[in-house]
A and B are shown apart, each in its own frame.
Chain A
Amino acid sequence: KQEVTQIPAALSVPEGENLVLNCSFTDSAIYNLQWFRQDPGKGLTSLLLIQSSQREQTSGRLNASLDKSSGRSTLYIAASQPGDSATYLCALSGSARQLTFGSGTQLTVLP
């Protein structure tokens, strides 16, 4: 059964810093990996989707990488802003087309 781990559970950085969020998984037989953002009391917003055959995806200040051989993905946020403060979740899609989620990293960007 797929297990997804996100460490650290919480991260606090000063504004302007570049940062990396980590996601590790146990089963490399995946279709894709998604990174989501969740604001308090809200639903999830899809940030990036990396297909199994891809190594990375970029959107604005965000860059996500995927290394299936090591069971790891990273989300890089450049020049962080207070508006980036949220919980970031990674999720993997496998043969059952279901998403398996990590427990998230709560990011706080201090002004």
Chain B
Amino acid sequence: DGGITQSPKYLFRKEGQNVTLSCEQNLNHDAMYWYRQDPGQGLRLIYYSQIVNDFQKGDIAEGYSVSREKKESFPLTVTSAQKNPTAFYLCASSMSGKNQPQHFGDGTRLSIL
């Protein structure tokens, strides 16, 4: 089945450690997105990519980094510079074009040890 796969489902980070969240899609979508969700809140955009080898910062990019070397993959690294990384992270993808719906993975929950 086509879809978006996020791994791992749960992740724990030690202080001062970088961690990488995986996002893979087999929908042949051009655009991919990373969002952060805090309890009781909506989603906030971290980074997005409309095409391979290109990406843009969203509203809360500080302390995060991404790469887009392949169309299918858009990994997110949470660096030690992100002081409050505990959250639910969601990856999404869509076809290009202004009225294409975004499709979401099942998320990764990151916690600090």
A residues with CB within 8 A of B: 4, 9, 31-32, 34, 36, 41-46, 49, 51, 89, 91, 93, 97-99, 101-104
Docked CA distance A97–B92 (Å) = 13
Give the secondary structure class of A's interface: strand
Please tell me if the beta carbons of A43 and B104 are within 8 angstroms of each other in the complex. Answer: yes
Closest to A95 in B: B98
Please tell me if the beta carbons of B104 and A44 are within 8 angstroms of each other in the complex. Answer: yes
Docked CA distance A1–B40 (Å) = 21
Give the secondary structure class of B's interface: strand
Please tell me if the beta carbons of B98 and A97 are within 8 angstroms of each other in the complex. Answer: yes
Please tell me if the beta carbons of B107 and A98 are within 8 angstroms of each other in the complex. Answer: no
Tell me which of B44, B92, B107 contacts A41 (CB under 8 A): B107
Which residues of chain B are near A9, meaning CB under 8 Å? 40
Which residues of chain B are near A32, meaning CB under 8 Å? 98-99
B residues with CB within 8 A of A: 4, 6, 31, 33, 40-45, 48, 50, 58, 88, 90, 92, 98-99, 101-107, 109
Closest to A39 in B: B106
Leading 7 A-B pairs by shortest Cβ distance: A101-B42, A43-B104, A44-B104, A31-B98, A103-B42, A101-B43, A43-B106
Please tell me if the beta carbons of B43 and A99 are within 8 angstroms of each other in the complex. Answer: yes
Which residues of chain A are near B109, meaning CB under 8 Å? 41
Query: Which of A9, A32, A89, A97 has the most chain B CB within a 10 Å cutoff?
Result: A97
